[in-house]
Chain A
């Protein structure tokens, strides 16, 4: 048996040892490390010291040392796969010569031979498990059967050539079947490749799933997110690179094909009524100001809501795009044109998040059926896919891969020429607000690899002109992405194999010519501005037919940005990160007032709970024994949750248990199988005496959101108008001094001022005695917290507190006499108060205590150190009622201070909240 250390081949060298490449290498290294030297005679002239000989000896030494250094460097132990750039390196089988770049493969193969690296060809590996063995046997049998069948047909062909000929004549050719889109019903996911069908039973893959699965952490197979396998984050380190690429240099791209698109068709009046009842009630949308939006050259993005029996409730964010009307046939129909707007059939696209898709779809169907004449709704989820891009390089990346399909001036689309003139835009937010571009693009694979876009001479002038004039309204035609036929044609793009074949026939470096087989790809580009910050990067969203997303994505990922590198891939985590850095809430995580957001929160709770349960008892936080100071024990509410039920006084939820039960219950409706939503928790009717008690979700369902404008109006209103009970507002918090919030952190307002302030005469004598109020907290707690706010005049405000709580510190660099004196003084003086209060009674190591539970106003939903702010920020939701009360009592400046304490910690940090 040959050992691994012995190389293959049995030939022996002259000494009878096998020719060991490894030994050879060792000899080589030893040889390289050996430095040549001269005997001492070289430095002597017949035994005497001589200057010339001395010189030559030194020169020899210099040469020998230099040579040795060079040789050592040459034989160093680096392997060729270590030369591969960091981003291209792989972890498994990195040594495998087949896995390194082509130019290094020869060298790598040599090194593998030298090291005698064991190689296994997976195809030829002997099956080890029973299952694998059975599979291999079946394969063998199948192959045998296939061979037999092939032989048979061949024989039949040879014998009956003339017979088969007339048979072919009678065949009727029909159009290939188009996928069905049913009206007012949910759509089936695309039928997966048979090879991958078993893996997509409970979920759908994104069009770029195979690409992403190799490069990103995906949702685990058993727990898909919103019925999709979604990339969560890149496997490479990406937090800081994403921050850079999204703001300073580069671009980040997401395949967001999981976003759901819904088409609504009908009269424009009917659509208007539907949209109004979905919460698009601002008059600006329906009067002259909204003309551009209704014409289809602008989009609208906002939160949709639906009417319930106790008020409106948010569904989730959505984008609404109108399809432009077809141009009027001619001017002779002027008399009929007055009645035209009422009769005209219009289409809109509603693009929303998959977590709230089902809710919105059902609402839309209900509303559409209620109109007269009826509208109809199409579920375009698996028809239209999308890619999202952010960063300074996003525009040039799009320009590099999307070429207008129609090049000639007669057929050129207006939007395409506007899009081409955008070369040089580094921020999509610099476009007109909510701009839309729709045109037909060529298959990007025809010009693969994508070339860097060049800014034409004088491009800046034309660009400025374009951005100011924005000539998109002339010659407006319906967008082809709304058209089912053109989407279908586009989804029949030629296979990669045929593109490769055509490329092979082409001259190298030349783009492939467009033939009749290449359909135009309808593209819809949406430019969005960040919700809060005017300076931040905007986002491009590209909508294209589902089947074309993969081709576009591959080209996009290889676009060479002018700032170097390629666009980075992003996952769900990156999307959250960028929203967080912009200070905007992320749907659904930061929207606990929606059903989707609450579902997310319940899932997160269950996840945190299971993580907590899995830890050994000695290593996990015991919530009951948390010491909050001043004798308060135990975490407020559930430490593993943003416990809005506790805050708003709603019945407690038992989320995980009900979800398990609902999983066991079969869903009768076949359409519900295709739902994107995780099955909603079953509504449990418990036989309570006080009427029907509510299930967890329905109890949380009463939480509603007060928008920024509504809250501001409430603050300004003179009379003590109250927000609806159980309502919250979303806020963005910035830490003033230190501290980083984690999700579930508790938000407190500053404790209120003591009602009666009795100053007794003894107070003047013992000023250091902390007063204890009835609640057990020091009465000056509010002042203690406010002292933490750094004022402009002086940096250090809390010296007085320090002086009181601790012994005087020894001043630096004083002589022995003074030291002795200070020491004696410190020993003799009685620290006041005496005896000292117990630890954590009046403060926590000099830090002010947290307020009491009645000052709790909300919870942090997202929190971390923000790279864009350079300090910790957080996004959370606070009770609207309590926030309003505080603002009215203490004014806007002090009312916006809050104290944020992480769940399970006793120290809080001062922050300031702003409405989002």
Chain B
């Protein structure tokens, strides 16, 4: 039996500038909020797919865009948390990953796409998303209590620190051999 083999990519959209509406009143925003901004509400899955396809075809030409054309799909897109999950065929997920790395803007707004986790099953990707969201919730609660963390990037990357990884592995997660971390 032929089995279609896919990879699921968990991607974060990271904006580096405050949202355009709030720029009029430049109140100091904590780094935690700054680096975990929501995207624009009118972002559709099709938009993302179109951007990725364009990038892939500019990087890898017709061959590349043809390779990913059939299987590329957005399984989950949450504008409030700037997270989305992509499905790509296993043979060509690296093309998409490379394209995401080279993309610098979404709908004209500068941002980076950070591939956080690659897995063979949707479930593991979802678990990773939950784990990261939990860490962010903890960090946000710390900040609410007044313990302002100056190291926002640290918060962002803390979830990838070695200790957390090992914990995750002990906890039965992160067992996929294809998993990767994108450090942009």
Contact = CB atoms under 8 A, between A and B. Distances in A.
Interface in B48-106: 75-81, 83
B114 to A, nearest CB: 16
A60 B78 CA distance: 10
Interface in A14-68: 35, 37-44, 47-52, 54-55, 57-62, 64-66, 68
Given A47-B22, A57-B80, A72-B123, A41 B144 contact: no
Interface residues of B, number: 40
Interface in B7-44: 18-19, 21-22, 25, 27, 29-30, 32-34, 36-41, 43
A39 B80 contact: yes
B130 to A, nearest CB: 5
A59 B126 contact: no
B143 interface: yes
A51 B38 contact: no
B128 to A, nearest CB: 10
A74 to B, nearest CB: 13
B33 A38 contact: no
A37 B76 contact: yes
Contacts of A810: none
Given A37-B78, A41-B41, A57-B38, A51 B144 contact: yes
B38 to A, nearest CB: 4
Contacts of B143: 51
Contacts of A59: 133, 137
A51 B80 contact: no
Contact of B22 (A42, A48, A60, A66): A48
B155 interface: no
Given A40-B40, A49-B29, A62 B130 contact: yes
Interface size class, chain A: 20 to 34
B141 A55 contact: yes
Given A35-B76, A65-B126, A68-B126, A43 B133 contact: no
Contacts of B144: 51-52, 55
A46 to B, nearest CB: 8
A42 B129 CA distance: 18
A38 B133 CA distance: 15
Contacts of B134: 62
Contact of A61 (B75, B78, B122): B78
A344 B81 CA distance: 101
Residue in B22, B29, B143 whose Cβ sees the most chain A Cβ within 10 Å: B22
A134 interface: no
Contacts of B18: 49
B156 interface: no
Contacts of A768: none
A303 interface: no
A69 interface: yes
Nearest to B43: A40
Contacts of B32: 51, 54
Contacts of B80: 37-43, 57, 60-61
A61 B129 CA distance: 9
A69 B136 CA distance: 20
Contacts of B152: none
A43 to B, nearest CB: 4
Interface in B124-148: 126-127, 129-130, 133-134, 136-137, 140-141, 143-144
A51 B136 CA distance: 11
A38 B137 contact: no
B41 A58 contact: no
B155 to A, nearest CB: 12
B39 A48 contact: no
Given A51-B140, A54-B33, A62-B133, A40 B22 contact: no
Contact of A39 (B33, B36, B79, B127): B79
Contacts of B76: 35, 37
Contacts of A51: 30, 32-33, 140, 143-144
A67 to B, nearest CB: 10
Given A37-B80, A48-B21, A49-B19, A65 B129 contact: yes
Interface of A: 35, 37-44, 47-52, 54-55, 57-62, 64-66, 68-69, 72
Interface of B: 18-19, 21-22, 25, 27, 29-30, 32-34, 36-41, 43, 75-81, 83, 122-123, 126-127, 129-130, 133-134, 136-137, 140-141, 143-144
Given A49-B34, A61-B78, A68-B126, 8 more contacts: A37-B78, A39-B79, A39-B80, A43-B80, A44-B19, A48-B19, A55-B137, A61-B81
